[in-house]
Amino acid sequence: MSRFWSKVVHGLTPYTPGEQVRMPGLIKLNTNENPYGPSPKAIAAMQAAADDDLRRYSDPANLAVKDAVAHRLGVQREQVFVGNSSDEVLAHTFQALLKHELPLLLPDISYSFYATYCSLYGITAVPVPLNDRFEIDVEHYTAPCGAVIIANPNAPTGIALPLERIEALLANHRDQVVVVDEAYVDFGGASASALVDRYDNLLVIQTLSKSHSLAGLRVGFAVGHPDLIAGLERVKNSFNCYPLGQVAQAGAVASLDDVEYAAQTSRAVIATRERLTAEMLALGFEVLPSSANFIFVRHPGHDAVTIATGLRERAILVRHFKQPRIDQFLRISIGTDAECAALVDALKKLLA
Ligand SMILES: *Cc1c(COP(=O)(O)O)cnc(C)c1O
């Protein structure tokens, strides 16, 4: 607290990211990072980009990255927005497109940064409860609203909605923006980017942090109708004209172009997820059906915090959310096969 803080700062509840502990031997399954490294082509491109040109400002329009995204998702350059992480893209989206007279509808259990942006920008949010299987039910998004945001697959549940449900949500909100945050879509979801030509109210947001193993690079993007993108550009150019440096742009382009590498690491993560799910079920856990690079689990006979604390003592980090409805769940990122085997081993000892 300081008497120098503005009123806005006093009222903020900042997002709490999963801990970034660096400790030898630590098994870090708490922040949904990819256990595999980025594309070697992306690393080479970034090394090559670290040259004398760095004395110049980077391309403020991010054209090379926009073209790589457009090529990958089959859209036009004018339908792409690029930002320094999808969190930044989300922030601009909240300010540019989600602040209206009527409230914003969002799932009661979802990415908790949404509530943080609402408090930062003074947006009223109305939470819509997930159903009793922890699924988003688009039929429940009927209250008068100015906009809607969901994550698909949702976080921290990992459950994906089929495209046909997203389309129903879009069709029911022709006069409101519907944002679909697809941070995890490459691990088994279907991207709504295929619908942007048909729905001018749709904005799809993705990131290179998870399926491209580039959480440390901070690159995210959005695709949607050119008018939505133009709104985001207005906010971006009122905030920071150069959100991505030259090195990040080069790495993002090379990673987006190395389609096979990202697909291959995603397949490996999915295979490990399926094995880990079977082992967790065998240990008596309930496991929500995941289309993401994490699983969301609870044990009917063991307290979630007790399990998380026991794992931590064995140098394994998982994520717990102290939140109604999900306080008996743990979110476990998919690690390598060896890391997941160590997790199962530790759980066997803890539950015994
Ligand atoms: C990880 C995550 C993000 C943030 O991704 P960055 O690009 O690393 O900021 C956004 N939305 C959801 C649902 C996420 O899980």
Q: What pLDDT score was predicted for residue 13?
A: 86
Residue 183 lies in a domain: yes
Q: Flag whether pLDDT at 1 surpasses 90.
A: no
Q: Which of 94, 210, 319 to mutate to test the pocket of ligand 1 (most atoms within 8 A of CB)?
A: 210
C-beta 207 within 6 A of ligand 1 = yes
C-beta 152 within 6 A of ligand 1 = no
How far is the centre of ligand 1, averaged over its atoms, from the C-alpha of 282 (Å)? 31
Final residue in a domain of this structure, among 218, 242, 258: 258
Residue 244 lies in a domain: yes
| pLDDT 10s digits, 84-127 | 999 999 999 999 999 999 999 999 999 999 999 999 999 999 99
Q: What pLDDT score was predicted for residue 264?
A: 97
Number of domains in the chain: 2
| pLDDT 10s digits, 291-348 | 999 999 999 999 999 999 999 999 999 999 999 999 999 999 999 999 999 999 999 9
Residue nearest to atom 15 of ligand 1 (CA): 183
Give the residue with greater pLDDT, 16 vs 300. Answer: 300
C-beta 116 within 6 A of ligand 1 = no
Give the pLDDT mean for 235-254.
98
Q: Which of 86, 110, 180 to mutate to test the pocket of ligand 1 (most atoms within 8 A of CB)?
A: 86
Residue 73 lies in a domain: yes
Are 47 and 19 within one domain?
Answer: no
Residue 2 lies in a domain: no
Q: Which of 284, 288, 292 is nearest to 344 (CA)?
A: 284
Final residue in a domain of this structure, among 258, 283, 312: 258
C-beta 86 within 6 A of ligand 1 = yes
Are 233 and 276 within one domain?
Answer: no
Residue 283 lies in a domain: yes
Distance of CA 171 to the CA centre of its chain: 24
C-beta 151 within 6 A of ligand 1 = yes
Q: What pLDDT score was predicted for residue 58?
A: 98
DSSP string for 175-205? TSEEEEE-TTGGGT---GGGGTTT-TTEEEE
Q: Which of 108, 90, 168, 151 is nearest to 292 (CA)?
A: 151
C-beta 204 within 6 A of ligand 1 = no
DSSP string for 49-88? HSSGGGGSPP-TT-HHHHHHHHHHHT--GGGEEEESSHHH
> Token digits for 85?
């992480």
Other CB atoms within 10 Å distance of the CB of residue 88: 19
Q: Flag whether pLDDT at 11 surpasses 90.
A: no
Give the pLDDT mean for 33-53.
97
Rounded to two decimals, the pTM is: 0.97
C-beta 155 within 6 A of ligand 1 = yes
Locate the ligand 1 atom nearest the alpha carbon of residue 220 and give its number. 7
> Token digits for 3?
């008497």
Rounded Cα distance between 213 and 87, Å, is: 16
DSSP state of 174: T
Are 47 and 64 within one domain?
Answer: yes
Residue 1 lies in a domain: no
Are 252 and 319 within one domain?
Answer: no
Give the pLDDT mean for 240-250.
97
How far is the centre of ligand 1, averaged over its atoms, from the C-alpha of 16 (Å)? 13
Mean pLDDT, the chain, as a whole number?
97
Q: Flag whether pLDDT at 265 surpasses 90.
A: yes
How far is the centre of ligand 1, averaged over its atoms, from the C-alpha of 5 (Å)? 28
C-beta 219 within 6 A of ligand 1 = no
Residue 210, domain CATH: 3.40.640.10
Percentage of the chain with pLDDT > 90? 95
C-beta 183 within 6 A of ligand 1 = yes
How far is the centre of ligand 1, averaged over its atoms, from the C-alpha of 255 (Å)? 17
Rounded Cα distance between 318 and 29, Å, is: 5
Rounded Cα distance between 65 and 266, Å, is: 21
Are 18 and 51 within one domain?
Answer: no
Are 252 and 308 within one domain?
Answer: no
Are 73 and 169 within one domain?
Answer: yes
Rounded Cα distance between 58 and 268, Å, is: 35
First to last CA, the chain: 46
C-beta 181 within 6 A of ligand 1 = yes
C-beta 87 within 6 A of ligand 1 = yes
Are 209 and 307 within one domain?
Answer: no
Mark out the alpha helices in the chain (DSSP H runs).
Answer: 7-10, 40-49, 63-73, 86-97, 113-121, 163-171, 226-236, 246-257, 259-282, 304-313, 337-351
Residue 327, domain CATH: 3.90.1150.10
Final residue in a domain of this structure, among 258, 291, 322: 258
pLDDT confidence bin for 280, thresholds 50/70/90: very high
Q: What pLDDT score was predicted for residue 96?
A: 98
**Domain containing residue 328:** 7-37+260-351
How far is the centre of ligand 1, averaged over its atoms, from the C-alpha of 39 (Å)? 19
Rounded Cα distance between 98 and 235, Å, is: 13
Beta bridge partners of residue 331, listed in sequence order: 296, 319
Are 119 and 51 within one domain?
Answer: yes
Q: What pLDDT score was predicted for residue 25?
A: 87
Residue 44 lies in a domain: yes
